[in-house]
Chains A and B, each alone.
Chain A
Amino acid sequence: MPGQGETEEDHEQQKSKKPADTAFKQQRLPAWQPIITANTALPVFLIIGLTFIPIGIVLVITSERVLEHDIDYTDTNCMSTTAANTTCAQALENANYTGQTCTCRINFALDKSFDGDVYFYYGLINYYQNHRRYVRSRDDNQLLGKEGAAASECQPFQKNSTGSGKDYAPCGAIANSKFNDTLSLLYGSENVSVTNLGIAWSTDKAVKFKNPDNASNYFSSTHDKPPNWKLSAWELDEPNPENNGYQNEDFIVWMRTAAMPTFRKLYRKLLRNSTFQNGLPKGDYTLVVTYNYPVTSFAGRKQFIISTTSWMGGKNPFLGWSYIAVGIVCMITFVVFFILHKTWKINNPFTYQMASIQNNQRITTT
């Protein structure tokens, strides 16, 4: 329709196509245009240098105050108490990992008293809890006590397919490989009193792990224990039902998989009573290990770690020294830049001009 086209065109012609004159459309928005000049860069270096060095010193001192004692009990340190000249690792190997246990006693001395709260950790080295297939081999719904078959991610530890055909409880490779050495400490001949409560994250305990209703029946008859386990989940801490089954803190700690192949996990906390009112006194100790957990086949290591904490947590000298190093580098850079800035003028007439104008401005303002 030519007629319509015309009116549209006429209309269009009357309407100005002039773009709106707004700051946004004309790209004239008010803006701050920072330029890194001597006036900004040099103070930054100076201030960072001046703050980082003291921070670093504080961190290093804090870290140094934390006491830590590590005992590697993987092989030669841990000689079987029953078989002569055999390490527990060898004993397990000889028994072809058929569930035989081995006990060893390791004597050590603490040169200083570990004051305050003391924590006991087990550490594993070259242990890949962060492997993709390992990490996903769990069923969070099962761990919340929900009904239903174990998830297929648990394969091949989903169900006992060669035997009863029942689901494993808990299922999956993580659960199946739960650390099951027993570690206890003697001070002289006195048992060091420890607690296995409060070692897991409170959020984990509160929201991620729940026993199903009728737990004892669930764990003993409707489900099988994982193949590597000696006891069913309901036998982990029978006297304390709140710390039993899926809600067992040792289990929860294990299920929080580590980021790196070298890691430690909280095992026990010192129960501060009578002798241990102020922590661990210095003196001779004996570590009693019930050695169940083989790691030598894949060149893994096992450690027992005693540690105190500071306001920053555990021992971590790296952080403090990094701060000191960065601070020193900043100071050096500052000095170099400062000297360059003050001396290098003539080569660049422009900056010379600028510097002089800035100086003038400073003079006029002061």
Chain B
Amino acid sequence: MAIGCGFWEYNVGSKFRIYLSWESYISSNSRTGAIQMGLLVFLSYVILLNTVVPISLYISIEFIRLLQSKWIDWDNNMYYEPDNIQAQARTASLNEELGQIEYIFSDKTGTLTQNIMTFKKCSIRGKFYGDISNENKDNKRTTDELQAIKFIEQDNNFVWYDRTLIDDIEKNENNDINHFFTLLALCHTVVSEEQDDKIIYQAQSPDENALVTAARIFGFAFLNRTQSSIKVRFRNKIETYDLLNILDFNNYRKRMSVIVRKHGQIILYCKGADSVIHERLDPSEKNIMALTHEHLHKVASEGLRTLCLAWKELTAVDYENWAKKFKKATTSMERREEKIDKLYEEIEKNMKLLGMTAIEDKLQDGVPQCIERLTEAGIKIWMLTGDKIETAENIGFSCQLLTDNMIIKRIDVETEEDVTIELNRFRIELIEKIEQLFNIHIDNQNKRLNWKNLGINEYKFNQHTNKQINIENFQGFSLLITGHALVHALSDQLKIKFLELATMCKAVICCRVTPLQKSQIVELIVKHDKIITLAIGDGANDVSMIQKAHIGIGISGQEGRQAVLASDYSIGQFRYLERLLLVHGRWSYIRISKFLRYFFYKNFAFTFCQFWFALYCGFSAQTIFDAFFVTCYNIFFTTCPVLVLGVLDQDISANHSISKPHLYIVGQKDKLFNRKIFVECALHGLISSCIIFFFSYLCILSSIEPSGVVLSDFQTFGFMVATILVIVVNLENALEMWYWTGIYIFILLGTILLHFLFHFIMYSTLLRITFKINYPYVGIFQVALKSGTFWFTLLLICTILLLPVIGREFFRIRFMPSEIDKARLIQKFGIHKKQTTKNQIDPRQRQRSLSIRSTGSGYAFSQQKGWGPMITSGTLRTKSASRSDSRQNHKQ
């Protein structure tokens, strides 16, 4: 533009100086003068043409995002009644990314499951209790007789069928059972509170609550505690134990112990993960341990969370010695934690095994269906959990993450070589399977495997059934990997290989992972693949993962608010994720894409009118429009309809969106706004401006009123072009809009009317008479609108610009409809394809296969540090009942 100006000034302007002299600071030499002018005009055009990306774009986007997050907050279908939790968008800037998720990293406990624990099974000194039908007794009960045993102290969630345990307790001949329940009643950090004659337990983790409650029900009730004592009621006899020490839980120790004294007898009770307890047992306990191990395996494969219990009696002398050292350690200034850990280690050894407990954590409602839909939407779900591999696998099956038609690879090895071997083996297996199934040959065995590169749609394997082999039932690969193996898989040498294989899988389950590993996994994907990831979790151990992923979602659940505080969105239940992504995310993505497309279009159309005019005004940076119009174009005359579009537009209704998860893939591939689309809409704007400008030019150039007065003056022309532009751009918006609500129609018509009203007032003599404002454009409005030429030009340009758009839309919808078009047509004309009935059958079949497996979960403590120090120091009080736990966590 500046160069154009330079040339023009040199060739024309310098000679035109007789009528229009140059500014005094411009050199009178025509060449240098022209260069100076060119530079100055360059700056002018920077200002004039910056309306391509105006400030209002950012403001509009923020506005739209804000309202979009309001939709999330307001959504009734994401309100969780039992806990009174509504969905909450804690950030407003990620809504459209919710519509582009490709990977979900999910925690398990409290996210997929309810985190409401119930005591299900136990094994005491090698004797197993808790089976529904007890094989030890030979009388087989029919299901009718199968009744839950009623207890005096009942708890809603607690159901117990096994009579033998009650009998054994009542017999009171077995001291082990006493110890077992005494441990459950003593070894915890639960605080109690009496409310209406009922004892309410406040536990740091739901597991503890379940255990203490179970103990109470079996007659070993924990009543309350002080700093140094625990009051219990055993078999209706109130007893008090002196609490000497709490050897608290932490992530690394994975166990906790208490040391109590009663009648001079000092006892250490310890509970913890099976592996840690195992290492610290007295060698003589081997047999019992082996038996218990069997039980552990059995319950873990049912998906229950397990804990091992052990105890040991201490002599007074030993304890005194230890206590002295411990006191010293707690007051030492340096490396206190380390010293304390060492002392804990010292005393927690040579213990006797008591048994194990199994706790059930139920799946949340709707999780399998939700996961199934999300998988259909092309989202890969990775479950990252601290549970044992059996537990995790089981949960994977019960929540549809894994299916029987998948090829499941387990990597449960500990050394680097083994991990390498396993990964290589898996790769070969994978390649062989693909080659066999799809009848293709994979040439370059070193190239990264990728479904896309292979030309296979991984979400619709059955599309490829033209081959001889029936792959209808093949549903993809999945990978199970343990934390130990992950340490190596995430190392620099192996991580790319791991990534390659893991991304080929439909589902990946990582078990026994630490919070750090969770975030490392997320980071690996985020760094190496250009995709949008989402992490969802409920506890403090998920915070790092939530922060690493593009979008973090917190579930406001049982484990405090850390996850929610770190998250971008919070929801009450996992199943709401479906609605959040498939409805809100998808809508937001479509809306923002359409908004951006339209916004760029309209500003290109606007700005390039100025550009074309530059060719005719000697590149002098003269605006074709009234300065007021330039200011208001993006504020009043075009913005409101596009804001409504960005906030209210819907392709299909929420229910349809959920029932058609495949529509989500549009967002993942970023089909609605990418570089190509940007160029397209820029070109559209450019062509529009071109037609608006040149047709106006050609029609109005020689236009004369019937009264002979000339209309081709600068101001009239500018006003006419502006009016045509506003009308065309707003009608274009109407064509973009799919969802015409009353609000939209009002705003659309209002905007066009506002343009006329605004100019009527601005350009009327009224303004001059009443306010004494001498506006240079006075009188233009009436003159321009009286002219027939103007109206004919308007109609002509609107037709030329809008008809092709209508034609293109029609052509696309009729002959090559996109998935969204199809869905819209189906919604509007109510045509049901055969597929829908097929889809209805599918889940039922799966449900049946599901019911065969027993559901459940595994591993016991929450991942935070325990409450031990607070109990012993007396800071923890038990005042407020239900909501205190979040606050307590903050205190830590």
Contact = CB atoms under 8 A, between A and B. Distances in A.
Contacts of A6: 879-880
Contacts of A16: 84
A177 B695 CA distance: 30
A364 B686 CA distance: 47
B703 A314 contact: yes
A9 B712 CA distance: 71
A132 B814 contact: no
Nearest to A48: B799
A38 interface: yes
A107 interface: no
B810 A38 contact: yes
A298 B12 contact: yes
Contact of A344 (B622, B815, B825): B815
B380 to A, nearest CB: 28
Question: Which of A30, A38, A253, A258 is most buried by chain B, counting CB atoms within 10 A of its CB?
Answer: A258
Interface in A128-153: 128-135, 137, 140-141, 144
A170 B135 CA distance: 115
Given A201-B779, A312-B789, A341-B814, A354 B806 contact: no
Question: Which of B653, B695, B709, B744 is most buried by chain A, counting CB atoms within 10 A of its CB?
Answer: B709
B817 A350 contact: yes
B860 to A, nearest CB: 29
B250 interface: no
A5 to B, nearest CB: 9
Nearest to B22: A133
B75 A203 contact: no
Given A16-B84, A19-B74, A313-B706, A132 B778 contact: no
Chain A interface: which size bin? 35 or more
B833 A350 contact: yes
Interface in B823-852: 824-825, 827-829, 831, 833
A299 interface: yes
Contacts of B879: 2, 6
B20 A131 contact: yes
B466 interface: no
Contacts of B73: 19
A176 B219 CA distance: 110
Given A135-B714, A156-B24, A341-B814, A35 B803 contact: no
Contacts of B715: 256-257
Nearest to A20: B74
A348 B703 CA distance: 50
B768 A207 contact: yes
A224 B44 CA distance: 34
B98 to A, nearest CB: 15
A229 to B, nearest CB: 13
B765 A318 contact: no
B219 to A, nearest CB: 33
Contacts of A253: 710
Contacts, number: 293
Interface string A26-50: 1111111111111011101100100
Given A119-B708, A314-B703, A337-B811, A257 B713 contact: yes
Nearest to A118: B708
A128 B16 contact: yes
Interface stretch (A81-89, A239-247, A263-271, A284-292): A263-271
A362 interface: no
A354 B829 contact: yes
Nearest to A206: B765
B807 A133 contact: no
Interface in B32-84: 44, 71, 73-77, 79, 81, 84
Interface in A210-243: none
A307 B704 contact: yes
A259 B21 contact: no
Interface in B741-790: 741-744, 765, 768, 774, 776, 778-779, 782-783, 787-789
Interface in A112-129: 117, 119, 121, 126-129
Interface in A298-355: 298-299, 307, 309-316, 318-319, 322-323, 326, 330, 333, 337, 340-341, 344, 348, 350-351, 353-354
Interface stretch (B140-148, B238-246, B545-553, B612-620): B612-620
Given A207-B768, A298-B12, A313 B788 contact: yes
B529 to A, nearest CB: 33
B73 to A, nearest CB: 7
A319 B793 contact: yes
B718 to A, nearest CB: 7
A94 to B, nearest CB: 16
A357 B16 CA distance: 70
A145 B827 CA distance: 68
B20 A36 contact: no
A101 interface: no
A164 B699 CA distance: 47
Given A19-B75, A258-B712, A266-B710, A30 B779 contact: no
Interface string A57-96: 0010000000000000000000000000000000000000
A154 to B, nearest CB: 12
Contacts of A135: 622, 714
Interface in A172-205: 173, 176-177, 198-201, 203-204
B762 to A, nearest CB: 14
A160 B879 CA distance: 91
A38 B613 CA distance: 39
Interface string B378-419: 000000000000000000000000000000000000000000
Contacts of B741: 29-31
Contacts of B807: 41, 45, 333, 337
Interface of A: 2, 6, 9, 13, 16-21, 25-38, 40-42, 44-45, 48, 52, 55, 59, 97, 117, 119, 121, 126-135, 137, 140-141, 144, 155-156, 173, 176-177, 198-201, 203-204, 206-208, 253, 256-266, 269, 294, 297-299, 307, 309-316, 318-319, 322-323, 326, 330, 333, 337, 340-341, 344, 348, 350-351, 353-354, 357-358
| 3 interchain residue pairs of minimum CB distance | A203-B779, A314-B704, A41-B810
9 contacts: A17-B84, A35-B824, A35-B828, A37-B810, A45-B803, A128-B12, A133-B620, A134-B620, A264-B710
